[in-house]
Amino acid sequence: MPKKICITGASRGIGRAIAEAFAGEGWELYLICKENLEMLEDAAGEWRREYGVNAACFAVDVTDTEKYEAFLKELPAMDVLINNAGISYMGLLQDMSLTDWRQVMDTNLTSVFLSCKHLLPGMLSRNSGRIINISSVWGEHGASMEAAYSASKGAVNALTKALAKEAAPGNVQVNAVACGLIDTSMNAKLSEAEMQTLITEIPADRIGRPEEVAALCLQLAQAPEYLTGQIITLDGGWTV
């Protein structure tokens, strides 16, 4: 029987790359997006044909807590949960509205809490499971003009470490991948000049690829059980 994985924010970028990587290994996919369901279904169709996997796609707003919790309660027990859904806000903190602040926090942090709250018990009951949270280097270092995003990812890192301690007796490992500059739509808003300036600061002399994040997630899903509570940085040496 194939193992089951739930991925939030799966329709594009890092989430889509993760889904394809696990499809290639024969995993049964439960894929969540906010509104790009047609795009996600098209990708899932390709993976069904190419890899022969089962892939279920759902359009669920993770910030709608009532609907998201109801959805999570209907899912079967998962072997792996990947919390990838995330948004950013560019601008000065003093210009940010409370609504914008809450949107970032609900998407990047509260959704992680809800996913873990409802899917962790199934893992603990089977004495096996992995939770992988997609974080950011800004969760540790902070980014100017991205205070809310940085705060949300810093909280995800702390949650990862704390939950790893709670879940370890039940043989569930909880880790996070702190991404550097990755080639996604979230970073597409940067101008060519801004992008080149950032690349000059990265020892690897390039931005990362979503497929590289996916490969690391696949490794974490298969890593020794003693590996837990870690924030693993993937940034080409940028913040070392």
Residue 175 in contact with residue 160, Cβ under 8 Å?
A: yes
159: β partners: none
User: Coil, strand, or helix at residue 31?
Assistant: strand
Task: Answer yes or no: 149 catalytic.
Answer: yes
CA–CA gap between residue 176 and residue 156 (Å, rounded): 8
Residue 15 in contact with residue 107, Cβ under 8 Å?
A: no
Helix (H) or strand (E) holding 141, with range, is helix 138-141
Q: Which of 232, 209, 235 is nearest to 219 (CA)?
A: 232
Q: Which amino acid is at 96?
A: M
Q: Which of 68, 89, 149, 226 is catalytic?
A: 149
CA–CA gap between residue 161 and residue 110 (Å, rounded): 16
* Catalytic residue ranges: 149
